[in-house]
Chain A
Amino acid sequence: MYSQTVMEHFTNPRNVGEIADADGVGQVGNPKCGDIMKIYIKVMDNVISDIKFKTFGCASAIASSSMATELVLGRTLEDAWKLTNTAVAEALDGLPPIKMHCSVLAEECIHAAINDYRRKRGLEPWADKSHDELVEEHSHHHH
């Protein structure tokens, strides 16, 4: 069901933990859907110099968070912001269609952490592009 890369990141997730003096913290998801993702970032000279995550969720949620943190570590905030869910899924050698929302959560969580950093700096938060189709489909099952 899962690629070897997903299994590897699920079994040995990178960058797990918290950053006590984080510059930005993002949290997305909700217990109803069974996924909650929380990402902490340290920013130095506009670059993500440290990143940690905590995730409650299935294997693909854990693997997506792990991969996303690896992909943005050492990147400028502008570059990190451009990380898409598809890039996360591709880096994981694919996710089953029903699990694609996990990669969306990872993208959204990085965005939430960056915008938290921007707000704390008194900067305007960047506008998040919407993932309506996937989010819609996801919440649809709960009616």
Chain B
Amino acid sequence: MTKHVYLDYAATTFTHPKVVEAMLPYFTESFGNPSSIYSFSDRNRTAIRKSREQVARVLDCSPDEIFFTSSGTEADNWALQGVAWANEKKGKRIITTKIEHHAVLHTGQFLAERGFDVVYLDVDAEGRISLEDLKQAMTKETILVSVMFANNEIGTIQPIAEIGELCRELGVIFHTDAVQATAHVPIDVQKMKIDLLSMSAHKFYGPKGVGVLYVRKGTKIGSYMHGGGQEKGRRASTENVAGIVGLGAAIELAASRMDEEARRVSALRDRLISGVMERIPHSKLNGASGDGRLPNNANFSLIGVEGETLLMDLNAAGISASTGSACSSGSLDPSHVLMAIGLSHELAHGSLRMTLGETTTQEDIDSVIDTLTEIVGRRRAMSPLWEDYLAGLKR
């Protein structure tokens, strides 16, 4: 039996055993509804407060600026729609980028269909927006700028502090989808002048089904879920106490070892990148390099081999990875992110994302490089596209 090598930590992480341990009492012995006034629910109220403080410490904000949601997707939906409906009298322009997660892109599309003027900024070849483009797009009618902290496919980190500075100066609300970045790279909402930030626990060794929207005090945003008075009446529904406890425990744990883990993982990432680039001819790294990308993200285009084929061959070798190729996504279009950074269809269809995490070892990386080199060689040998590509080089 081959060892399973999981290289899809950007899709989801396992829940850390320490996090599970912190969560367990809230499923069984301490199941009271936090809204009930009897003392049996005290422990649950305290647990939620503690989690709010744990998150606030990591972001450098006040605990009452933390609102728990069911996911990063919900936080993104709330941020965009909440700002749009509360500010439509001021203006209808929302500025975002072409490489956002679908939670932002599709919400933007939803708002555009309802009369909002949604502008999508281009990105450069590494996936970074230009501040000049952002300045140009800003009008008096602009009510929101939403730029993701770091991209989920190619790992490129945006100039968040500069964007925050510009938005604050012009009095425009700034939202960032930090689902991939939270607890992986330092985030300071004060220094970076962030008004709204989305995160999701299962990207940093917390449980699935719980996220956060940070809302800076004074930000004009409507409620998203209507119902009871939970989350100061801003986000109704009985709290997912165990999940919230898990998110708090996970962010505290991840933040306490972030520097050390980022150093370790980025060294492995760079070993993977240089190994692939050296061993596999005509391979291409997608996204920024070094500190410009997430410590755990590597994304390649391996011309001549289709992404789904790569994934299935890797899977047969016990390696779990992901691709931006159309064939595995259930649609026939390659990833919008890879197209936005200017890749040809050939390169986009041959993309491979590997995202590292806590269990990844140097041994894993070395064996993955060997396996991938063998797979790419074998599949290229039967690929007419590879043949044409080589012929094109000779011409």
Contacts and interface: CB of A to CB of B under 8 A. Distances in A.
B360 interface: no
A59 B309 contact: yes
A34 B312 contact: no
A98 B384 contact: no
A35 B334 CA distance: 12
A58 B383 contact: no
B342 to A, nearest CB: 15
Contacts of A56: 304-306, 383-386
Q: Which of B309, B316, B333, B346 has the most CB of A within 10 A?
A: B309
Interface stretch (B104-112, B129-137, B321-329): B321-329
Q: Determine the interface band of chain B, counting residues with CB < 8 A from chain A.
A: 20 to 34
Given A31-B344, A34-B306, A61-B306, A55 B382 contact: yes
Interface string A24-48: 0001000111111110000000000
A138 B349 CA distance: 15
Nearest to B333: A141
A34 B383 contact: no
B384 A58 contact: no
A120 to B, nearest CB: 20
B345 A31 contact: yes
A142 B383 contact: no
A62 interface: yes
Contacts of A10: 309, 312
A11 interface: yes
B331 A38 contact: no
Sort A-B residue pairs by CB-CB distance and give the 6 closest, nearest first: A58-B327, A56-B385, A58-B308, A34-B349, A38-B384, A56-B383
Interface of B: 304-309, 312, 316, 325-328, 330-334, 344-346, 349, 382-388
Interface of A: 10-11, 13, 16-17, 27, 31-38, 53-59, 61-62, 98, 138, 141-142
8 contacts: A31-B345, A31-B349, A31-B385, A34-B345, A53-B382, A55-B383, A57-B306, A58-B308
